[in-house]
Amino acid sequence: MRAFRPLLLAVSTLVAVSANAAQETVKPSEFMVASANPLATEAGLEILHKGGSAVDAAIAVQTVLTLVEPQSSGIGGGAFMLLHNSQTEKLVAYDGRETAPMGATDALFLKEDGTAEKKRDVIPGGRSAGAPGVLRMLALAHEENGKLPWADLFTPAIRLAEEGFAVSPRFHFMTDLYKERLRPDGFLAYFYDEQGTPLPVGHIIKNQPYADTLKLIAEKGVDVFYEGEIAEDIVAAVQNAEINPGVLSLDDMKNYQPKKREAVCAPYRTWKLCGMPPPSSGGIAVLQILSLLEGFDLASLDPASPEAAQLFLEAARLAYADRATHLGDSDFVHVPIQGLVDPAYLAERRTLIEQGKVMDDAPAGTPPGAKTAWLTKQPGEIPATSHFSIVDNSGQTLSMTTSIESAYGNRLMVRGFLLNNQLTDFTFVPRSESGPVANRVEPGKRPLSSMSPTIVLDDQGRPVMTLGSPGGPLIISFVAKTLLGVLDWNMPMAEAIARPNLFPYGKAAIIERDTELMSEKEGLEAMGYAVREGGLASGLHGIIIHYGESGGRALEGGADPRREGTAEGR
């Protein structure tokens, strides 16, 4: 095994608003947290310092992110979590994805003439809201893996909500960017002053309604969110929304259940890569990209070269083609999960990649076990998601990606937190010329996602990396790019994260603007690509676990310099 060093669908136009450089941290550590906000990272560390598990810390991190990064995730949304327990040697995928109300139909986002509504028109209001899943998912994971009492895990977020936190540069940037879209939707006083100006960086915000919400959940347990007064307020906000009232019901809230699923895993060189199965497309697509590239000697290439970029882009095109054809909620449609990561199938697909040349067409394949081509064609997503990675000192390694979908979700605030608009992740038109669309709206169904929490195991079955990112469909390319940086080019985590992002859009190569890769534009154009610049604002957060010969270990974290997160260990 190679030793680690001590170590469009939618193209985002967001720019990094923090000059925070990603700090590489390589030191003997008992535990580590890498998250999108320093206050969330500190909350996780506080819980770990008290003897909590990675799952305990995740609850603290998520509840603080809901407060300090409300545009990206929250208890009104959903999440996917991968958890590896070294003591049991088990890897579990926890599915906390939102579900469509039982009153929803496949015409949810269709006009009277049968054509699709515009996504931007149906995001605000109640129609886009699914039953939130993140809290019940965390409660299930805590029941099985927690060490500290449930109530103790909400203390950091309650304290911050009551005492206040300072508006960060990204918080201010996002409220300024979205002010015209947020103003009609009823929670101006929280984000803006009396003149409608976004609150300045450093302004102290308090959120007593959110503190009171968390106190109820901490005291009475998670069911108060799904069956009690909080659920009643959520349903009332959705059904009585001034814009696009929805059909989410108290029964939808009460009956929501998280799911434990089998992680999808595949070998890559000397490692084993594991990700989320459907309803996420991310795990399969990331594994496909790396498996397709396994037949090429990437280590011999300059990672910043057009030759390396071309191989990545072509592998990604093939993976995205399969994603758009075969993926959906596997509880509702047949998904050939093992066929999509089958080595023989991917070896055949690899022959379509010709070094130094762009494919005229990157078709979907027919993996073993495929019964039909479902044609997913998921609508573009606005990147408004968050990811955090945690390693504790009791054997738990955690990777969790969490989202309310679009920035500020459906723009409805209830008891101090925002609700999701995840139903707009369904494909709006339910049928194509070839038949039903896999990702069409159905009652109780979970919309397809691109979230890609990832854990890498070494040849001894030990976890050596936890990683993930926000970014809509671009998440897949962000995570794959970073994995290659660490595994093939032996980069430290922070360096691999900071590498230029790139994304294929047909025969176009979307390259992160103002990066060294843009200097290779002519080389990529000579291969046949139309090169375009894009913001490609990832929010990657990851941790590498280094094992010593004597049995000790060191933890190395990285946080994306494009945002304001931190990676810290103690």
Domain coordinates of the chain in residue numbers? 25-256+378-501+536-569
Share of the chain above pLDDT 90, in %: 83
211: exposed, middle or buried (C-beta count within 10 Å: 0-12, 13-18, 19+)?
Answer: buried
**Cβ atoms within 10 Å, residue 149:** 11
Report the catalytic residues.
385
Q: What is the pLDDT of residue 406?
A: 92
pLDDT in tens, 354-374: 999 999 999 999 999 987 655
One-letter identity of residue 195:
Q
Location of structure tokens 């049968």: 114
Q: What is the pLDDT of residue 181?
A: 72
**Half-sphere exposure (CA, 13 Å, Cβ side) for 136?**
24
User: In this predicted structure, which of 2-11, 351-360, 364-373, 494-503 has the lowest mean pLDDT?
Assistant: 2-11
Q: What is the mean pLDDT of residues 148-165?
A: 98
Share of the chain above pLDDT 70, in %: 92
Instruction: Classify the C-alpha dihedral 173-447-91-224 as positive or negative.
Output: positive
Q: Are 62 and 73 in contact (CB under 8 A)?
A: yes
Q: What is the mean pLDDT of residues 426-451?
A: 91
Model confidence band, residue 435 (pLDDT cutoffs 50, 70, 90): confident
* Two tokens, residue 256: 């929501």
Q: What is the mean pLDDT of residues 200-211?
A: 96
> Does the pLDDT of residue 380 top 80, yes or no?
no
- What's the rounded Cα separation, in Å, for the pair 519 and 34? 31
> Does the pLDDT of residue 528 top 80, yes or no?
yes
Q: What is the pLDDT of residue 552?
A: 84
Q: What is the mean pLDDT of residues 397-414?
A: 95
Q: What is the pLDDT of residue 51?
A: 97
**Cβ atoms within 10 Å, residue 516:** 11
Q: What is the mean pLDDT of residues 169-195?
A: 79
The strands making up 566-569's β-sheet, listed across from edge to edge, are 259-261, 90-96, 78-85, 396-403, 385-391, 32-35, 566-569
The pairing of strands 502-505 and 413-414 is unpaired
Q: What is the pLDDT of residue 70?
A: 94
- Maximum C-alpha span of the chain: 69
- What's the rounded Cα separation, in Å, for the pair 247 and 208? 28
- What's the rounded Cα separation, in Å, for the pair 547 and 350? 33
Q: What is the pLDDT of residue 15?
A: 34
Model confidence band, residue 434 (pLDDT cutoffs 50, 70, 90): confident
Q: What is the mean pLDDT of residues 341-355?
A: 97
Model confidence band, residue 376 (pLDDT cutoffs 50, 70, 90): low
The more confidently predicted of residues 534 and 434 is 534
b/e burial code for range 402-427 (CB count within 10 A of at least 16 → b): bbbbbbbbbbbbbbbbbbbbbbbbbb
CATH number for the domain running over 25-256+378-501+536-569: 3.60.20.40
Q: Are 100 and 442 in contact (CB under 8 A)?
A: yes
Residue 192 φ then ψ, to 5°? -135, 160
Q: What is the pLDDT of residue 99?
A: 98
> Does the pLDDT of residue 189 top 80, yes or no?
no
User: Integer distance in angstroms from the first to the last C-alpha of the chain?
Assistant: 28
Closest CA to 443 of 108, 107, 130, 103: 103
Q: What is the pLDDT of residue 379?
A: 41
Location of structure tokens 């989410």: 248
Model confidence band, residue 431 (pLDDT cutoffs 50, 70, 90): confident
- What's the rounded Cα separation, in Å, for the pair 48 and 46? 6
Model confidence band, residue 2 (pLDDT cutoffs 50, 70, 90): very low
What are the residues facing 554 on neighbouring strands? 546
- What's the rounded Cα separation, in Å, for the pair 148 and 157? 16
pLDDT in tens, 211-233: 999 999 999 999 999 998 999 99
> Does the pLDDT of residue 377 top 60, yes or no?
no
Model confidence band, residue 127 (pLDDT cutoffs 50, 70, 90): very high
* Average pLDDT taken over every residue of the chain: 91
Closest CA to 509 of 528, 492, 495, 490: 528
* Two tokens, residue 434: 């070839």
> Does the pLDDT of residue 469 top 70, yes or no?
yes
b/e burial code for range 98-126 (CB count within 10 A of at least 16 → b): bbbbeebebebbbeeeeeeeebeebbbbb
pLDDT in tens, 131-150: 999 999 999 999 999 999 99
Count how many residues are written for the chain.
Answer: 570
Closest CA to 23 of 483, 541, 452: 541
Model confidence band, residue 19 (pLDDT cutoffs 50, 70, 90): very low
| DSSP state string for 8-77 | -------------PPPPEEE--S-EEEESSHHHHHHHHHHHHTT--HHHHHHHHHHHHHHH-TTT--TTS
- What's the rounded Cα separation, in Å, for the pair 24 and 495? 8
**What number of helices (H) and strands (E) belong to the chain?**
19, 23
User: In this predicted structure, which of 4-8, 320-324, 469-473, 504-508 has the lowest mean pLDDT?
Assistant: 4-8
Residue 537 φ then ψ, to 5°? -80, 90
Location of structure tokens 């911050």: 160
% helix, strand, coil for the chain, step of 5: 35, 20, 45
The more confidently predicted of residues 24 and 9 is 24
The more confidently predicted of residues 178 and 421 is 421
* Two tokens, residue 346: 């991917």
Q: What is the pTM of this model?
A: 0.94
Q: Are 220 and 187 in contact (CB under 8 A)?
A: no
Q: What is the pLDDT of residue 183?
A: 55
